[in-house]
Amino acid sequence: MTKRVAIIGSGMAGLAAARVLRGSGASCVIFDKSRGLGGRMSTRRVGDLTFDHGAQYFTARGPRFAALVEEWRSGGVAAHWFGEAIVGSPGMTAPARAMAQGFETIMGFEVTSLRRESSGWSLVAGEASHGGFDAVIVATPAPQAAPILAAGGASFPALASVRYAPCLALMLAFDGPVAFEGGHLRPESGPIAWIARNSSKPGRNDSAKTFVVHAGPEWSRAHLDETPEAILEKLKRYALDLIGAPSAPIYAAAHRWRYALVEQAAGASCFWDAQAGLGACGDYCLGPRVEAAFDSGEAMARAVLESWGVHVAA
C-alpha cells in the first residue's frame, strides 16, 4: 500500500524530502502557512517590482545538489550571477516552484498541532485538519518545529541547542539613476552587512533599480522588535548613503527575519522517530545555507524510507 507522508514546510528542506520520497513511491502532501512556496528563498512582488528579500543566492558544493542546480539552469529556473553564486530566475522562488510540480500543496495552512488517530496522523490548523498520514516531516525552523513535534509526542532535545541570527531586511526601488552601479556590496563596517542591486540579477528587469539591504546580525538583534516603520527609517538612512540616490525611493519597505541564518547547528543531518513516524529536518541541522537545507531534506527522506525497509541509493 502506498505510504502517505505529510510535509510541513515548503522550503528547500521540505521539497528535497518530498522529491526523494516520491522517487520511492510514497505519496506526499506539502503544507505551508505562507501563500507562496520556497520559505526563506522568497521573492516579494510589488506591481512590476520584485525583491528577493531572503536568501540572496546559493552555491552548490555536493554532487547531488550540483546536479539539481544544473537541471534548474538548463530549464531556465536558475542562472549564474557572479563567482559561484547562482540565483533562481526570474526570482528566488523559481526553483521551489519547479520542485513542487506534481505535488499536492496546501498553502495558508499553519499547523498548530498533530493528532494520532486510527487512520494515522492528522495535521491541525485551528478548526481545520487533514488526516490519514503514515508519517509527518516537520521542515520548519527549529523553534517552530518544537511545539508541533511535542504535540505529536516526539522529542528531539538537540533542537533546543539550535541558534539563529535574525536579519532585518530593507527593500528599496528607484526610478531615476543611482550612483551604485555594481551588483552587490558587503560593507566592512556599519550596520549593513549586504546590499544587492536586485534588478541586476539575471532574468530581472533593471529599468527601475531595486535593492535588497540586509542589516548585520548585531544590528538586527538590537533592533529586532522595533516597529517596521522605525526599522525602515533607520536602515534607509544608512542604505541611501551607500546607494547614492539623488531622489527618494519610489518604494521602501522593511522585513523582519527572526530565524534567518543558523549560527549554531544541531549537528545531525535530520531527526527521525521511526516508532512515532515523526521527523524533523531543515538547514538548522547542518548550517546556514540553501544546500544544507537540501542535504537535510534528502537525509530525512532516506531515514524514513530505510525505516520502512526501502533501500535508497546515496
Ligand X SMILES: Cc1cc2nc3c(=O)[nH]c(=O)nc-3n(C[C@H](O)[C@H](O)[C@H](O)COP(=O)(O)OP(=O)(O)OC[C@H]3O[C@@H](n4cnc5c(N)ncnc54)[C@H](O)[C@@H]3O)c2cc1C
Which residues lie near ligand X (CB under 6 A)? 8-14, 31-34, 39-41, 54-58, 110-111, 139-141, 144, 167, 169, 214, 257, 260-261, 282-283, 288-290, 293
Instruction: Report the alpha-carbon distance of residue 277 to residue 307 in Å, rounded.
Output: 9
CB 259 to ligand X: min, Å: 7
User: Residue 263: enclosing H or E segment and its boundaries?
Assistant: strand 251-264
Task: Please state the φ and ψ torsions of residue 196, each to the nearest 5 degrees.
Answer: -120, 135
Minimum CB distance to ligand X smaller for 13 or for 68: 13
* CB within 8 Å of 71: residues ≥ 6 apart: none
Minimum CB distance to ligand X smaller for 85 or for 310: 85
CB 278 to ligand X: min, Å: 14
* CB within 8 Å of 201: residues ≥ 6 apart: 52, 79, 81, 87, 89, 183
Minimum CB distance to ligand X smaller for 1 or for 40: 40
Minimum CB distance to ligand X smaller for 216 or for 249: 216
CB 244 to ligand X: min, Å: 23
CB 261 to ligand X: min, Å: 6
Residue 125: count other Cβ atoms within 10 Å of its Cβ. Answer: 16
Within a 13 Å sphere around the CA of 109, how many CA atoms are in the beta-carbon half?
A: 23
CB 237 to ligand X: min, Å: 20
Minimum CB distance to ligand X smaller for 187 or for 310: 187
Is omega for the bond preceding 90 within 30 degrees of 0, making it cis?
Answer: yes
* CB within 8 Å of 20: residues ≥ 6 apart: 297, 298, 301, 302, 305, 312
| DSSP character at residue 58 | B
Minimum CB distance to ligand X smaller for 246 or for 267: 267
CB 102 to ligand X: min, Å: 19
